[in-house]
Structure 1
Amino acid sequence: MSKFGELIDLNVPVLLDFYTEWNEDSVSMHPVLRDVAAAMGDKGKVIKIDVDKNNKLAEALRIKSLPTLIIYKNGEMKWRQSGEQDANTLIGIMQEYAS
């Protein structure tokens, strides 16, 4: 769990994508997240977390449905949403917290 603290304690927004390879909605988010990462560059970070490999973390964060997207900045949760999102929406939200 201490590694998780290091991941989210950045002064840029960190978008976490909780997914599994067997969940269709999760898999369809992969290209969207690549677009978000490309658009944000060094002003934000996108991290994909496989729930099957990180189930303790998923339980601790009460991840119930996939995909679940969470934005942290400076170690604090700023935004959370379950379900698919489009790249423009995510980029807009990330840019709000980037400044």
Structure 2
Amino acid sequence: METQIEHLNVKSIIENNGNVLLDFYAEWCGPCQKLLPTIHKLTDELKDDVLIQKVDVDDYQELAAKYSIRNIPTLIFFKNGKPVDRHTGLITERNLRDKINRLA
């Protein structure tokens, strides 16, 4: 399943979806790859509650800079167009699910 933003218009994505989770990652990042199965699972399971999109920091350096991404993986949670939470590093499926449920 591919959740990478194809043609990046993050402003539109954030503004036109109530709950959004952006996963800033890189293909070469070991922790990012370890988190990937959890991201894919929750993308499928929670698609009615939150839009989850991956953002490759190598492809979208300006966007990563805009959100002050210094370490990856970094997850930024948006509600109604505003960032409301952020997590950097690995996170368990349970903790990520809990964060998403609080967002929704």
- In the superposition, the TM-score normalised over structure 2's length comes to 0.86
Q: Number of residue pairs matched?
A: 96
Matching residue within 57, 60, 65 for 1:54: 60
CA contact (8 A) 1:39 1:91 kept: no
Instruction: Please list every run of at least 4 consecutive aligned residues from structure 1 whose deviation after the TM superposition is greater than 6 angstroms.
Output: none
> Any stretches of 5+ residues in structure 1 without a counterpart?
none
For the aligned residues, what is the CA RMSD? 1.3
Identity, % of aligned pairs? 30
**Corresponding position of 1:22:** 28
- In the superposition, the TM-score normalised over structure 1's length comes to 0.90
- Alpha-carbon distance, 1:42 to partner: 1.2
- Alpha-carbon distance, 1:37 to partner: 1.3
**Corresponding position of 2:79:** 73
**Residues in 1 aligned to 2:20 and 2:94: alpha-carbon distance in whole angstroms:** 16
**Residues in 1 aligned to 2:41 and 2:98: alpha-carbon distance in whole angstroms:** 12
**Corresponding position of 1:43:** 49
- Alpha-carbon distance, 1:74 to partner: 1.1
